Amino acid sequence: MRFFLKEKKNRRRRFFSFKERTPMRTFLCLIIVFTIFFLFGIILLYPRPIDIVYTWVDYDESMKMEITGQSITPYVSLDELKYSIRSIFLFAPWFHHIYLVVRDGQCPSWLNTEHPNITLVNHSEIIPKEYLPTTNSIVIEAHLHFIPSLSEQYLYLNDDVLLWNPVQSTVFFRNGKTIQTNSTVVSSEYKQPISIERNEIICKDNVDAEYEFMKMIGWNASLIQSLWGYDQVSLVHHVPFPNLKSTNRQLDSLLYKLRKNGTSLADLSNQQKKRSNENIARVSIFQKYFYQKKSKTILIEEENVKAQMIELSHLFRNTSQIQSLLYDHDTLFVNIQNNIEYMDRGAKDNGVQDWNLMKSIMDRKFSEKSPVEY
């Protein structure tokens, strides 16, 4: 009996030995190797979900007075968001889900919030109450990655950005990394000397100065150079902006660690109810360089960005550029920049006419309602 048990044990040992090869053993090894590579290939090739995130605020007089104590220039909603969402359904059918981030209680009148493809997210669901209410888009953008159930990879779009032709997900993400571009280089005239000692930012105070976009960008560029030593810092293009949720949370940790006058840069930025020269402009400039340091982005040449900005102005017409869009099969992204001052006497003959032309082209190109519209 002992002899048979010993022989059985020896046969099992020989079967798993690499010294003795049998057809059965070779076959099983091949099956195991093939299975491992097959499963690994599925993991690599299986498309990761990519959500779409929009921010939208319906500005009105009472809202601006509540936050800033100031009146506002008359604001006209052009329903750009409706056309932008139509463009997503038409030209990016690979998307997973749409999240629309709004001020509490607000919602576009045409939006069907019961549709399973879209979720309405109130500011209070993602932004701490000490920072609310706010009209500061930079503060809102800094909290988008806290949206419940948001995918690891997601695109952030302003409501005035549209897809103009079919676009693949690889335009935004490849191998778990974002795709970024360089746009306008920040001039040294907007920068300022900054030193960092034990996570404390030492520089002159700009928070109370009158807000200017390029002053804010200069502050961000100076921080980027002080932190990571880049010789040249540039903005990004105004196109759909790719994000990684986990990397954005790492950026949060950095901004809470860095301090100025005893206050973290995160708090310093988020406390501003309206835009400030010391806001951390994540989307416009800061996030791109943090992603580079984390090896989470791939930079492509600026000439490969197939985008157009359509400016609507009370000062001039932009008819030829708008008309050219009708038969444009190359442009991927269109940004409608509404700079119309509606109280100006030139608004009706210039910007308003251009918008009517643009709307007629969009109605033709995006003639079908999206599934999330009533």
Pairing of strands 333-339, 161-163: antiparallel
Average pLDDT over residues 80-96: 98
> Would 87 be classed as within a structural domain?
yes
Rounded to whole angstroms, what are the CA distances from 62 to 12, 67, 72? 82, 9, 10
Q: Give the CATH number for residue 212.
A: 3.90.550
> Would you state the pLDDT for residue 30?
76
Residue 2 has pLDDT above 80, yes or no: no
> Would 6 be classed as within a structural domain?
no
> Would 28 be classed as within a structural domain?
no
Write the secondary structure of 112-164 as one string of H (helix), E (strand) and C (coil): CCCCCCEEEEEHHHHCCHHHCCCCCHHHHHCCHHHCCCCCCEEEEECCCEEEC
Per-residue pLDDT tens over the stretch 354-374: 999 999 999 999 999 999 999
Choose among 78, 148, 156, 90: nearest CA to 120. 148
Helices (runs of H) and strands (runs of E) counted in the chain: 12, 15
Asked whether the beta carbons of 216 and 276 are under 8 A apart, the reply is yes
Residue 178 has pLDDT above 50, yes or no: yes
> Would 265 be classed as within a structural domain?
yes
In which domain, by residue range, is 268 found?
48-304
Residue 18 has pLDDT above 60, yes or no: no
Average pLDDT over residues 20-41: 68
Residue 28 has pLDDT above 60, yes or no: yes
Amino acid at 311: E
> Would 373 be classed as within a structural domain?
no
**How many folded domains does the chain comprise?**
1
Angle made by CA atoms 338, 339, 344, in degrees to the nearest 5: 125
Q: What is the CA radius of gyration of the chain?
A: 27
**243 contact partners, CB below 8 Å, separation of at least 6:** 53, 144, 145, 153, 154, 155, 156, 178, 287
Amino acid at 105: G
> Would 24 be classed as within a structural domain?
no
> Would 288 be classed as within a structural domain?
yes
Per-residue pLDDT tens over the stretch 141-155: 999 999 999 999 999
> Would 4 be classed as within a structural domain?
no
